[in-house]
């Protein structure tokens, strides 16, 4: 889940991003060769269309946001067809709202099915979030509204039942399994006395088992959530001397929920890096079908935002390497959606992911050579 930072947060980042790549030992002329692996791809965004088509860097795949290509025809869809002739394409959605109790929007699913049939993507994915809700009207009846965001879900059996139903509906329509991504969330839910809460890894394990889907493991989201657990927004609000905020009310609610208190205390006892690795270790083997890496930003109030606007942080690369050692060399996407850099910077990040995959394959006897790039 990407959120845009405050204005000016990404200013003058391009030079820093290039410096990071140089510090890692990457030289621009080597980026394309280093990223030439069947397992590493980049997010393809409009400013890079012409250069990618003109230079054709040897990437394993490219990723696009599904909703940007729902129209029948037009320049964007024409570019995607041209890209598909050269690369495998991964369709990554942001609008299905797979955790919505109101169900999946029929029009959205119709458009996604048409796009899948046109492009024949290598993978289809969306997020473990909700976006649709049923609201009572002032008069008789009700209306279903769609929130244009990736809103977090409660990890309960009721939420699991709804997501299994929605994911199954999408897969039946598309006639293929899909991947569901773990979210970066900036609030959590207090469970009631009748709820049956579960940990997030257990939630994904059950979702994949019951729905027959896979998991899209976003390791940057894991790190963002772990860092925010150590720096709750309510503490920043208290330090500023402000009036009671939503975050402070949420904190009071969390304190009344023993399960949430225990989970947060568990995070506080561990480093963010260890928390992320423990999350990965709690997932069943074979569950993950793709991994995402991205950059995040720090705000003045102590909140960490998953903005996809900078190079991948060192600790996120460490979590990624841990995931590789647990699950093997999986398809990996470098996400970059805000403050887009020069294409060479993005290819440098892909090259680093490819190098880590080769290193894990070289040093681990657990993976068959055929699975390694």
Structural tokens at position 19: 């410096």
Return the pLDDT at 279: 97
DSSP string, 262-311: HHHHHHHTS-HHHHHHHHHHTSPTT-EEEEEE---EE-TTS-EE----SP
Percent pLDDT > 70 in the chain is 74
Within-domain flag for 84: yes
Within-domain flag for 167: yes
Candidates 155, 156, 165; CA nearest to 210 is 165
Within-domain flag for 314: yes
- For the chain, residues with pLDDT lower than 70 are 1-38, 136-142, 145-146, 148, 232-270, 365-371, 373
Return the pLDDT at 233: 52
Q: Are the CB atoms for 7 and 28 separated by under 8 Å? A: no
pTM of model > 0.85:
no
Return the pLDDT at 268: 52
Within-domain flag for 19: no
Return the pLDDT at 82: 97
Q: Are the CB atoms for 88 and 55 separated by under 8 Å? A: no
Domain count, the chain: 1
Return the pLDDT at 150: 74
Within-domain flag for 335: yes
What does the pLDDT look like over 71-84, one tens digit per residue? 998 999 999 999 99
In whole angstroms, what is the distance from residue 270 CA to residue 314 CA? 18
Range of the domain at 224: 29-367
Return the pLDDT at 297: 94
Q: Are the CB atoms for 222 and 182 separated by under 8 Å? A: yes
CA 155 to chain centre: 17
CATH of the domain at 184: 3.20.20.150
Within-domain flag for 96: yes
Within-domain flag for 23: no
Within-domain flag for 5: no
């Amino acid at each position: 889940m990407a959120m845009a930072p405050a204005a000016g947060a990404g200013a003058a980042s391009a030079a820093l991003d290039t410096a990071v790549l140089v510090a890692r030992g990457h030289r621009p002329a080597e980026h394309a060769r280093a990223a030439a692996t069947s397992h590493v791809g980049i997010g393809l965004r409009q400013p890079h269309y012409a250069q990618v088509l003109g230079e054709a860097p040897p990437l394993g795949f490219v990723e696009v946001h599904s909703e940007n290509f729902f129209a029948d025809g037009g320049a964007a869809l024409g570019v995607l067809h041209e890209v598909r002739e050269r690369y495998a394409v991964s369709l990554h959605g942001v609008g299905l709202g797979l955790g919505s109790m109101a169900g999946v929007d029929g029009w959205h699913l119709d458009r996604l099915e048409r796009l899948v049939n046109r492009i024949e993507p290598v993978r289809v994915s969306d997020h473990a979030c909700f976006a649709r809700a049923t609201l009572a009207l002032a008069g008789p009846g009700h209306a279903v509204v769609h929130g244009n965001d990736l809103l977090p879900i409660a990890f309960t059996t009721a939420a699991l039942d709804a997501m299994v139903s929605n994911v199954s509906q999408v897969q039946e329509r598309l006639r293929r399994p899909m991947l569901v991504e773990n979210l970066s969330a900036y609030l959590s839910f207090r469970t009631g006395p009748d709820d049956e809460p579960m940990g997030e890894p257990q939630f994904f394990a059950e979702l994949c088992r019951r729905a027959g889907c896979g998991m899209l493991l976003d390791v940057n989201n894991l790190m963002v959530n772990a860092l925010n657990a150590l720096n709750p927004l309510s503490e920043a609000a208290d330090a500023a001397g402000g009036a009671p905020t939503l975050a402070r009310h949420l904190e009071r609610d969390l304190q009344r929920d023993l399960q949430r208190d225990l989970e947060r205390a568990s995070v506080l006892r561990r480093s963010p890096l260890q928390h992320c690795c423990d999350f990965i270790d709690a997932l069943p083997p074979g569950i993950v079908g793709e991994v995402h890496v991205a950059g995040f930003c720090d705000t003045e109030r102590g909140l960490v935002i998953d903005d996809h606007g900078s190079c991948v942080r060192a600790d996120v690369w460490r979590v990624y390497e841990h995931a590789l050692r647990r699950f093997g060399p999986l398809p990996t996407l470098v996400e970059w959606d805000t403050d887009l850099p020069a294409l060479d910077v993005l290819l440098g990040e892909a090259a680093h992911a490819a190098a880590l995959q080769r290193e894990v394959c070289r040093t681990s006897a657990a993976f068959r050579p055929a699975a390694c790039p």
